């Protein structure tokens, strides 16, 4: 008989301990977000695919030196530019990044002496199509300014 009541007693203690923990967690602020409706800002060290940096005029900082393309060990970068008549600097006309081959090593960003490349904070990149990972970075920059 004593064992019977003892079992009920300790069972109830265990039940209330469990309920106390549940209640404590219930009133705590949530640590999760409703992705994809809510997203968190990425930390400074996060490396998304590379992105062109723009100047005050909304144009790419790039001077088409080609160092980034040469520094890339995976041959991800294809770029082109023209030198308008009367101008000293080349103007970027194409900057394509093949992100399917990119290892995010950072050689391109490090090799750029003109503050023209950075890592983006982009992480929403799920797709089944390989073509979706070929980025027209100049087009993206122009879209940002539309």
Question: Residue numbers of the site for ligand SF4 (CB under 6 A)?
Answer: 50, 62-68, 71-72, 74, 76-77, 79, 102-108, 111-112, 114, 116-117
Smaller CB distance to ligand SF4: residue 69 or 86?
Answer: 69
Q: How far is CA 13 from CA 17, 25, 27, 82, in A?
A: 6, 19, 21, 79
Smaller CB distance to ligand SF4: residue 14 or 78?
Answer: 78
- Smallest gap from Cβ 110 to ligand SF4, in A, equals 8
Smaller CB distance to ligand SF4: residue 39 or 74?
Answer: 74
- Smallest gap from Cβ 22 to ligand SF4, in A, equals 47
| Longest distance between any two alpha carbons in the chain, whole Å | 103
- Smallest gap from Cβ 90 to ligand SF4, in A, equals 9
> Which residue, among 95, 84, 85, 87, has the nearest Cα to 61 in the 3D structure?
95
CA 140 from centroid of its chain's CA atoms: 15
What residues pair up with 81 in beta bridges, in sequence order? 92
């Amino acid at each position: 008989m004593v064992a019977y009541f003892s079992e009920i007693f300790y069972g109830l203690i265990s039940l209330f301990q469990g309920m106390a923990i549940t209640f404590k967690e219930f009133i705590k602020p949530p640590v999760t977000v409703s992705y994809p409706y809510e997203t968190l800002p990425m930390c400074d060290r996060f490396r998304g695919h590379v992105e062109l940096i723009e100047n005050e005029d909304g144009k790419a900082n790039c001077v088409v030196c080609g160092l980034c393309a040469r520094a890339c060990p995976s041959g991800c970068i294809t770029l082109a530019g023209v030198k308008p008549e009367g101008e000293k600097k080349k103007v970027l006309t194409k900057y394509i990044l093949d992100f399917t081959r990119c290892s995010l090593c950072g050689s391109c960003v490090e090799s750029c002496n003109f503050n023209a490349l950075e890592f983006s904070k982009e992480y929403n990149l799920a797709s089944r199509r390989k073509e979706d990972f070929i980025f027209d970075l100049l087009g993206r920059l122009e879209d940002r300014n539309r």
